Structure 1
Amino acid sequence: MLTKLNRIRYTYIRSHFYAFSLDFFLLLALLLAVHVWFGPKWLTVEAVVFFIICFVIIGAFTSLLTGFQFSTALKHRMDRLSTMIRQLSRGEYTFRIPTEDQEEMTGLSEELNELGGKLEYQKESLVKLADEKAELARSAHKAATIEERQRLARDLHDAVSQQLFALTMMAQATERILEKKPDKAKKQLHEITQMALQAQTEMRALLLHLRPVHLSGDSLTSGIESLVEELKQKCSLKFHLDMEDSPNLSKTAEEHVFRVLQEALSNILRHANASNVTINISSSGREVFVHIADDGSGFSLADHKDNKASYGLKTMRERCEEIGGEFSIRSREGEGTYIDIRIPMMEKEEIG
């Protein structure tokens, strides 16, 4: 209640009441002076009381009405400034405040409009710089990327070989005790099954990282559809896709989004224990929105802040920031994980 009374409108009304109160006491003092010095017959007690009542009623109503009326215009100007600031904080740099009157608020509005224009220019420059940086990095590190992928392939082979060796040893041990200790053998068979499923899941997640880094000329939606079709053949996940055919993104932005989605699917395969995965891509205004959700076990963001599992999330966030986008993730244990990405679109002439 006290916070509401401190708003501009109520402050304006109070100021009119203060002025009314001051006029009231000055008028009483004047009437008292006239009564004492001159003692006119018309200045009776009844006349004074009647005048005071009329003055209070008319003055209070006038103060309330004028205070409300004059504060409304100021409040509307303040609301426009507040809206402008909120839009800038959300990345809507194209929003502008209409300016008409030449007064202090108009000057502030023009300065905010100028600030919005500068921020919009800087954002576009950042996106262009990210494109140029990606092109240079792609040509300069092509050989290093191939070498790294080969190293990962060797590591994958070694890891799978070790797991197969462990499974073989456990299977041989189970075979020897199958007739003598069937209960123990049954327990070991269950452990072998779990180890095999875990190794299979780990292998699929690692193979996902060995896919081509770039879209190889395909559009973002085509690349995602190909990736999902490949995963459908290798795992039991159910995918729900809702994507626009041609989101208005630069080639570099599409590749970054594709890599982020690869990383997200890899995490789902390894850690989520999910049954359904939803991927939505849509555009609104000058932004593209990407939503990735699963119905898995979820996790606590606070508990994963400093461990190795957060490395993939950090990489996804950095990729989004490189193209001027925003990355957010929501997850709770037992409630799945939800990733939302917002990326600015480029003008058509800039994409070509």
Structure 2
Amino acid sequence: MKQKAIRSLFFTSSILVFLLLFITMASYSYAASPQSWYLDIFTARFIYIPFIWYLLATSVAIGLAVTLGAYYVNKRQWQQIEETLQTLVKGDYSKNLFDQLLDKNNDDYFLSDELKRTLVDIREKLIALANEVQINSNKTSNSINGQTKEEILVSERHRLARELHDSVSQQLFAAMMMLSALNEQMDGSNETLQRQVKLIESIVNEAQSEMRALLLHLRPVNLEGKSLKKGIEQLLNEMSTKIQIELKWDIEDVSLMNGIEDHLFRIVQELLSNTLRHSKAKGLEVYLHVIDQSVLLRVIDDGIGFNTTENKAGNYGLQNINERVIGMGGTCKIISFKNKGTSVEIKIPIMDTIEKGGVMV
């Protein structure tokens, strides 16, 4: 309740209570002494205090009690509305969860039936929109000269990956071998030159890691007939053999529309690439589970972290991921602290299970 409404309720209830008590006292005084009842009202005392002051104090106390009671009920109502809306904002469209909230409301929050129906309508409209978004994201893009935009993008990525691997990556590997051999042949007489060689070796080694991350980023953007679980695990297994980083994962086998699975696979791919290129992490965890009729993807690293409000290179990739998630009707939560690592949590509603729950016709 707003402060103006609270003050208005307090004054109104206090005045009404005072008038009621005053009329009651006046009626009693008139019945006891018709000739001087109006004087008795203002001259009557109790413990040396005029009785009229007791009326004022009682009116204020009752008005305050009424105001506090109304404020408490109103606050509980808004808490329930806020809790329900936050659940919908997070993408939790589960019918069972929503029914539990409404049952809780029946016991504790005193919301009207009309407001309950409004919340139910909001939920059903959000489900319909999310379903439409997922269907559209699953459709094939328009073709250009007989090829879809996705096919052109995949072909170009393959070409760039081959060229980078056959030229730059091989040259970096050769340079690394030559520097290692040169470093072993040096007898330590020239410490300055040896330090410079080691520095160059370190730079080339970092360039190799960057190249591996780029090649990972340029992999196919779809699963190519594999399940989402198999695609992600294959990506992680390949990554563990080429890059020195401690990997941990727990991937549940989920079945979604092909377009949604491709989007999730691409999101995992981009998150891994961003981690390798920017986070300087020593450990990385990937989890994929079905929870409350939603797919929950979590990627956690122990890297240097970043400021999520700044538009840097790594943040730009996360912005692209967030756009993909929104395009699937989901939510993306990114938490990062300096030198504490980064956690990305993505939740996508499974529209098939929600619809089978009896919400949509």
The worse-fitting range, judged by mean Cα deviation, of 222-231 and 5-14 is 5-14
How do residues 253-272 of structure 1 correspond to structure 2 at under 5 angstroms?
253-272=260-279
State the SS of the aligned residue for 2:254. Answer: coil
Residues 76 and 167 of structure 1, relative CA distance in 2, 3 Å threshold? closer
TM-score by length of 1: 0.75
Hey, what's the Cα distance between the residues in 2 that align with 1:67 and 1:271?
56
Task: Kindly indicate whether residue 148 of structure 2 is the aligned counterpart of residue 151 of structure 1.
Answer: no
Task: Kindly indicate whether residue 196 of structure 2 is the aligned counterpart of residue 188 of structure 1.
Answer: yes
State the SS of the aligned residue for 1:17. Answer: helix
Alignment partner for residue 110 of structure 1, among 114, 117, 132? 117
Task: Kindly indicate whether residue 227 of structure 2 is the aligned counterpart of residue 219 of structure 1.
Answer: yes
The residue number in structure 2 matching 1:39 is 36
Q: Which one-letter code corresponds to 1:250 in the other structure?
A: M
Q: Which one-letter code corresponds to 2:158 in the other structure?
A: R
Deviation at residue 217 of structure 1 after TM alignment:
2.7
Residues 64 and 125 of structure 1, relative CA distance in 2, 3 Å threshold? same
Hey, what's the Cα distance between the residues in 1 that align with 2:262 and 2:88?
27
Residues 132 and 7 of structure 1, relative CA distance in 2, 3 Å threshold? farther
Task: Kindly indicate whether residue 17 of structure 2 is the aligned counterpart of residue 20 of structure 1.
Answer: yes
How do residues 75-114 of structure 1 correspond to structure 2 at under 5 angstroms?
77-93=77-93, 94=95, 95=98, 97=102, 105-114=112-121
Hey, what's the Cα distance between the residues in 2 that align with 1:324 and 1:39?
77
Deviation at residue 319 of structure 1 after TM alignment:
2.0
The residue number in structure 1 matching 2:359 is none
Hey, what's the Cα distance between the residues in 2 that align with 1:203 and 1:67?
67
State the SS of the aligned residue for 1:132. Answer: coil
Q: Which one-letter code corresponds to 2:191 in the other structure?
A: D
Task: Kindly indicate whether residue 333 of structure 2 is the aligned counterpart of residue 328 of structure 1.
Answer: yes
Contact preservation (8 Å) 2:294, 2:350 = yes
Contact preservation (8 Å) 2:173, 2:208 = no
Deviation at residue 282 of structure 1 after TM alignment:
2.0
Hey, what's the Cα distance between the residues in 1 that align with 2:87 and 2:202?
51
How do residues 160-179 of structure 1 correspond to structure 2 at under 5 angstroms?
160=169, 163=172, 178=186
The residue number in structure 1 matching 2:236 is 228
Task: Kindly indicate whether residue 243 of structure 2 is the aligned counterpart of residue 238 of structure 1.
Answer: no
How do residues 239-318 of structure 1 correspond to structure 2 at under 5 angstroms?
239-244=247-252, 246-303=253-310, 305=311, 307-318=312-323
Hey, what's the Cα distance between the residues in 1 that align with 2:3 and 2:88?
26
Contact preservation (8 Å) 1:12, 1:71 = no
State the SS of the aligned residue for 2:220. Answer: coil
Q: Which one-letter code corresponds to 1:313 in the other structure?
A: L
Hey, what's the Cα distance between the residues in 1 that align with 2:192 and 2:20?
99
Hey, what's the Cα distance between the residues in 2 that align with 1:10 and 1:283?
49
Q: Which one-letter code corresponds to 2:304 in the other structure?
A: S
Contact preservation (8 Å) 1:249, 1:346 = no
Residues 190 and 180 of structure 1, relative CA distance in 2, 3 Å threshold? closer
The residue number in structure 1 matching 2:132 is 125
Unmatched runs of 5 consecutive residues or more in structure 2: 357-361
Question: RMSD of the alignment, in Å?
Answer: 4.5
Hey, what's the Cα distance between the residues in 2 that align with 1:168 and 1:260?
34
Contact preservation (8 Å) 1:171, 1:192 = no
The worse-fitting range, judged by mean Cα deviation, of 192-201 and 274-283 is 192-201
Provide Cα deviations, 1:47-75, integer angstroms capped at 9, x if missing partner: 78796587678767766666666776666
Task: Kindly indicate whether residue 213 of structure 2 is the aligned counterpart of residue 205 of structure 1.
Answer: yes
Residues 276 and 11 of structure 1, relative CA distance in 2, 3 Å threshold? farther
Hey, what's the Cα distance between the residues in 1 that align with 2:307 and 2:354?
43
Provide Cα deviations, 1:148-170, integer angstroms capped at 9, x if missing partner: 42133214433335546766897
Contact preservation (8 Å) 2:13, 2:63 = yes
The worse-fitting range, judged by mean Cα deviation, of 323-332 and 120-129 is 323-332
Task: Kindly indicate whether residue 346 of structure 2 is the aligned counterpart of residue 341 of structure 1.
Answer: yes
The total of aligned residue pairs comes to 341
The worse-fitting range, judged by mean Cα deviation, of 108-117 and 252-261 is 108-117
Deviation at residue 277 of structure 1 after TM alignment:
0.8
Contact preservation (8 Å) 1:274, 1:295 = yes
Residues 329 and 349 of structure 1, relative CA distance in 2, 3 Å threshold? closer
Provide Cα deviations, 1:108-149, integer angstroms capped at 9, x if missing partner: 443333232222211111111111146979962425522442
Hey, what's the Cα distance between the residues in 2 that align with 1:348 and 1:74?
35
The worse-fitting range, judged by mean Cα deviation, of 321-330 and 257-266 is 321-330
The worse-fitting range, judged by mean Cα deviation, of 232-241 and 28-37 is 28-37
Contact preservation (8 Å) 2:336, 2:343 = yes
Provide Cα deviations, 1:261-288, integer angstroms capped at 9, x if missing partner: 1111122222222221111222221211
TM-score by length of 2: 0.74
Hey, what's the Cα distance between the residues in 2 that align with 1:212 and 1:350?
32
